Amino acid sequence: MTRAADFIPDVQRLLAERGEPAYRLDQAYKALTNSLVRDWEEVTSLPKGLRAALAAEVPASTLTLERHYRASDGTRKYLFHTHDGHAIETVMIPEKKRRTVCISTQIGCPMACTFCATGLLGIKRNLKAREIAEQVFVAARDIAPERVSNVVVMGMGEPFLNYTETLRALKVLNDPEGFGLAARSIAASTSGLVDRIRRFADEPEQFHLAISLHTPFEEQRREIMPVAARHSIPELMSAARYYVDKTRRKLFFEYTLLAGVNDQPEHAAALSKLLDHPLYHLNLLRFNWTDTGYAATSKKRAREFLAEARERGLPATLRPSRGQDIDAACGQLAAKDLRGRPVVQLT
C-alpha cells in the first residue's frame, strides 16, 4: 500500500468507486499534506465533480478549529473538535530560529501522571493518523509564510499507546512527497512503555525520542507516574540503552521539577548515576500550574539543580516554560477548555 493510500484510505475508496485514474490519489494526498488545503474546492487540479463528491463524502478537514489563542510570548494554542465532538489541543511555540508544533495523539490520556492536567481527564479514544497530522497542517497554515521547523509529540495522550496511527502520521510529516519535514526534526515522547521504546528504536526513520522520568527513585516514580508499576526503572533504562545502542541518537529524559518533591540534591546525584551514557540528555522543566496539588520549584532552585547535575557530568538543559498565560505549557493541556472552566480568549 502506498503512503497516500495508507493515510487517506477513504479517499482511495471513493476514487476507486468512481473509476478515477490512479494519479488522482496522489493529487489529493499532496493537496492535504503539501498544499495544506482545508476544503477540496481549493484543489483546482481536481475536476469540479470530483471535488464536490469528495466534499460530500470525505471532507478535507477532519478537525474543526474552534478557538485560537495567542500568549504574551507569542505561543499559540489551537482548540479543535473532532468529527464526533471531542476536544483536543495543539500548541505552536515560536523561538528565534524554530517554530515547534506540539501535537496530541489521544483524546485525553490514560497514564494518570499526578502532576498533569491531561491525565485527570482519562481517555476517550485514540486519534487517527489524519487527525494527528492535521494539527501540524493547521498550525503551518496559520504561521505562513514562516515554516514549521520541528514537531514534538508531547501534547495530549501517550503516543505509544496509539503507536500505529502515530507512526503513520509521523511518516507523512516526514515524507518528501508529503509535508517534507526532516526526521531529525520530529520527536516523540513516552511515559516509559518499554516494549514500544524498543520497537521505536527499530523503526527505519531517524525520529528522536524523549522519555518522561521525573525522579530517579523507584517508589517515588510509582507515586508520581502510575506507569512505573508496569515497568521498573531498571527495565526502563535497559530499553533506553537498547535505543541508543541501536540508533546512535541522543536520548532525552524529561524531568518536571516539583517543589520539595523531586528537586533535592539527592535527586541530582542519583540522576547523574542513572543517566550514565554520553548520548543521554536531561531536559529540566519547572512545573506549570495545574490544580493537582503540586507547586513549582523556584527559579533559583531550578538553576541550582541544573548546576548540580552538570557538576556531576550530566548533560542537562533547563527549558523555559512557554504559553502559561493561555494554559499552553507542558502538562497544562485540557486544564480549562476540556474541563468546563472559563478561559480568556486572547485573539
pLDDT tens per residue, range 123-134 = 889 999 999 999
CATH no. for 3-57: 1.10.150
Q: Sheet with 208-212: list strands edge to edge.
A: 63-70, 76-82, 87-94, 99-102, 150-153, 186-190, 208-212, 251-257, 280-286, 316-319
Q: What is the pLDDT of residue 1?
A: 55
State pLDDT tens for residues 26-53. 999 999 999 999 999 999 999 999 999 9
> How is residue 64 written as a grid cell?
474543526
Please report which helix (H) or strand (E) contains residue 87, including its range. Answer: strand 87-94
- Band the pLDDT of 198: cuts 50, 70, 90: very high
Residue pair 205/91 in contact by the 8 Å Cβ criterion = no
Pairing of strands 150-153, 186-190: parallel
Q: What percentage of the chain exceeds 90 in pLDDT? A: 78
pLDDT at 144 over 60: yes
Active-site option among 20, 89, 131, 254: 89
What is the distance between the alpha carbons of residues 42 and 36, in angstroms, rounded to a whole number? 10
pLDDT-derived band at 325 (thresholds 50, 70, 90) equals: low
Whether 340 has a pLDDT exceeding 60, the answer reads no
Does the pLDDT at position 232 exceed 70? yes
Dump pLDDT digits (tens) for 2-14.
789 999 999 999 9
**Is residue 109 annotated as a catalytic residue, yes or no?**
no
pLDDT tens string 265-287: 999 999 999 999 999 999 999 98
Task: Please report, for the chain, the start and end positions of each structural domain, with discontinuous segments joined by +.
Answer: 3-57, 71-339
pLDDT at position 347: 30
Residue type, 265: P
Mean pLDDT, residues 228-238: 92
**What pLDDT score was predicted for residue 334?**
57
Mean pLDDT of 66-93: 92
Say yes or no to pLDDT of 324 above 80.
no
| Grid coordinates belonging to 345 | 480568549
Residue 43's identity, in one-letter code, is V
In this predicted structure, the answer to whether residue 331 has a pLDDT above a threshold of 80 is no
Which three cell numbers mark 18? 468512481
pLDDT at 322: 64
CATH architecture of structural domain 71-339: Alpha-Beta Barrel (3.20)
**What whole-number distance in Å separates Cα of residue 205 and Cα of residue 69?**
33
Enter the DSSP assignment of 158.
-
Q: Report the DSSP beta bridge partners of residue 211.
A: 190, 253
Separation CA 98–CA 150 (nearest Å): 7
Write b or e for each residue in 216-239: b if 16 or more Cβ atoms lie within 10 A of its Cβ, otherwise e: bbeeebbebbbbbeebebeebbeb
Whether 218 sits among the annotated catalytic residues: the reply is: no
Q: Which of 102, 109, 116, 330 is catalytic?
A: 330
Q: Is the pLDDT of residue 298 over 80?
A: yes
At residue 168, does pLDDT exceed 90? yes
Tally of CB atoms within 10 A around 298: 13
